[in-house]
Structure 1
Amino acid sequence: MTEIPVPPWRKTRKVSAPRTVLSRDLIVTTGLRLLDAEGLDALSMRRVAQELGTGPASLYAHVENKEDLLDLMYDRVMAEIHVPVPEPERWLEQLRELVLDAFRVFGSHADIARVGLATIPTGPNALRIAEGQLAIMLAGGVPPKVAALMIDRLSLYVCSDAYENSLYINRQRESGMDPESFMSDFFGQIGKFYRSLPVDRFPNIVAQVDNLMDGDGKDRFEFGLDLLLRALASHVQDSGPTTKG
């Protein structure tokens, strides 16, 4: 059936697109998406507001400020890390699995490491992971003081490794190259430079170029992690697992 036209004297009302209903969860999700795509330096309250089609002032009804938003984003990332239920006979393996999972998660949100390095996380998921690490180590017989110190050292190890990776990612973004080509070109130049060094002054570096350049980021992370865990295991007493209380 042919539609009847609207009389010219009758004004039609334009239907507006539905406004996005803001929430803390949506703001954090948007902030994290921007961080992953553009890096921490590109993140601002104004930029998040633009992405949500609103003004910066409307965000402050849900988050206190940018620092608050970053803390919430950091804890959201920590929620992705799996914490196993302690098994005393597998405590060292479990701790290794937990830290490798943190390495994976931080690798997918590399710039978030700068937030973790700048503060002591106190969000529910950060506390969940700390509690889980303590439970695993204490169940395995690690002295409480050593276990407490190890939480800090493991966190620093994961964050610093992810931070270094974020620097490479940011340089890759600036170069306009794809990640694989950038890394191949960058480390290719480093290897070429090492090989060009005067052998009389740097005989060991020149001779060990292949070993110095061998291994990807995960290989190197696991190497360092295993050194830390081997040192941690040396503190376990022969008397067996410690108990709570």
Structure 2
Amino acid sequence: MSVPVPPWRQRAARERSVKQPLSLDLIVRTALDLLDTEGLDAVSMRKVAQRLGTGAASLYAYVRNKDELLELVLDLVIGEITLPGPDPAKWQDQLKDLVRQQVAVLSAHPGIAQVVLRTPAPTGPNALDVSEAMMAILRAAGKSDRVVAFAVDVLALYGTAVAMERTADFGLTEAERHERLTQVQQYFAELPPDRFPTITALLPALMSGTDEERFEFGLSLLVQGLATTN
């Protein structure tokens, strides 16, 4: 007479039977989910393997190390950007839209912008597609090779910096962040005008504007500068 299988073992067997086979795509998406739920510092080969129900050694058949894994996660995120075909009549709007999308997708996954700065030059297929699109827009606008090459770098850096600032909590709650900004404003207001005449005179302007308004100002400044540079 056979011994019945306990219910918990039946459940475990069912879970194993529907478990997805290990693949590079599954590993990268699991790492992204880990980043979204626990933060960049939590992403490790060991933790990703744990979520997949396997050992870390299994992952090394697909990725060399954590740095490569994070680069793949970054490229997955960049793939969320929608790319336009170059239109010389709309090149400024197209550039702005690409940078806005960059900020949006990087901000949607806090911590991933740091990976951009750790990577000398993102070379994943999606990153290359974005660079190709941006350079094609600039070339269609009649910009020189030098301007195109430099501009794509500057625009990417700006978008990354804005995303980092938007997602950095500096270890503060929203209430603490607001209190800190209030303290900064009060500190500036108490500065001696004879030593800092410009800062004190411009204090209302310095403390004005939303994050979005300041981002759009910087973006327009860059694109308008490109409009007068050949």
Pair in the same fold by TM > 0.5: yes
Give the CA deviation at 1:132. 0.4
- Tell me if structure 1 keeps the 8 A contact 2:78–2:127: yes
Q: Distance in 2 between matches of 1:133 and 1:67?
A: 26
* Paired residues for 1:1-245 under 5 Å: 10-13=2-5, 14-15=9-10, 16-17=12-13, 18-19=15-16, 20-21=19-20, 22-119=22-119, 120-166=121-167, 168-169=168-169, 171=170, 174-175=171-172, 177=173, 179=174, 181-236=175-230
Give the CA deviation at 1:122. 0.7
Q: Distance in 1 between matches of 2:217 and 2:81?
A: 21
Q: Distance in 2 between matches of 1:127 and 1:66?
A: 21
Judging changes above 3 Å, is the alpha-carbon distance between structure 1 residues 231 and 112 closer, same or farther for their aligned structure 2 residues?
A: same
Q: Distance in 2 between matches of 1:49 and 1:215?
A: 45
For residues 141-164 of structure 1, the C-alpha deviation after alignment (integer angstroms, 9 at most, x for no partner) is 111221111111111111122223
For residues 176-235 of structure 1, the C-alpha deviation after alignment (integer angstroms, 9 at most, x for no partner) is x3x4x3432231222122122233322332332221121222222221111111111112
1:138 maps to amino acid? R
- Tell me if structure 2 keeps the 8 A contact 1:111–1:162: no
Judging changes above 3 Å, is the alpha-carbon distance between structure 1 residues 36 and 54 closer, same or farther for their aligned structure 2 residues?
A: same
Give the CA deviation at 1:28. 1.2
Q: Distance in 2 between matches of 1:221 and 1:24?
A: 36
Judging changes above 3 Å, is the alpha-carbon distance between structure 1 residues 83 and 185 closer, same or farther for their aligned structure 2 residues?
A: same
- Tell me if structure 1 keeps the 8 A contact 2:78–2:126: yes
The alignment yields a C-alpha RMSD, in angstroms, of 1.9
1:103 maps to amino acid? V
Q: Distance in 1 between matches of 2:123 and 2:91?
A: 24
For residues 75-108 of structure 1, the C-alpha deviation after alignment (integer angstroms, 9 at most, x for no partner) is 0011011111111111111111111111111111
SS of equivalent to 2:51:
helix
Q: Distance in 2 between matches of 1:54 and 1:189?
A: 49
Q: Which runs of 5+ in 2 are unaligned?
A: none
Identity of aligned residues (%): 45
For residues 16-66 of structure 1, the C-alpha deviation after alignment (integer angstroms, 9 at most, x for no partner) is 242332222222112112222332222211122222333211222222211
Q: Which runs of 5+ in 1 are unaligned?
A: 1-8, 237-245
SS of equivalent to 2:76:
helix
- Tell me if structure 2 keeps the 8 A contact 1:83–1:98: yes
- Tell me if structure 1 keeps the 8 A contact 2:70–2:115: yes
Judging changes above 3 Å, is the alpha-carbon distance between structure 1 residues 33 and 188 closer, same or farther for their aligned structure 2 residues?
A: farther
Give the CA deviation at 1:10. 4.3
2:204 maps to amino acid? D
- TM (normalized to structure 2)? 0.87
Judging changes above 3 Å, is the alpha-carbon distance between structure 1 residues 46 and 184 closer, same or farther for their aligned structure 2 residues?
A: same
Answer with 96-105 or 17-26: which moved more: 17-26
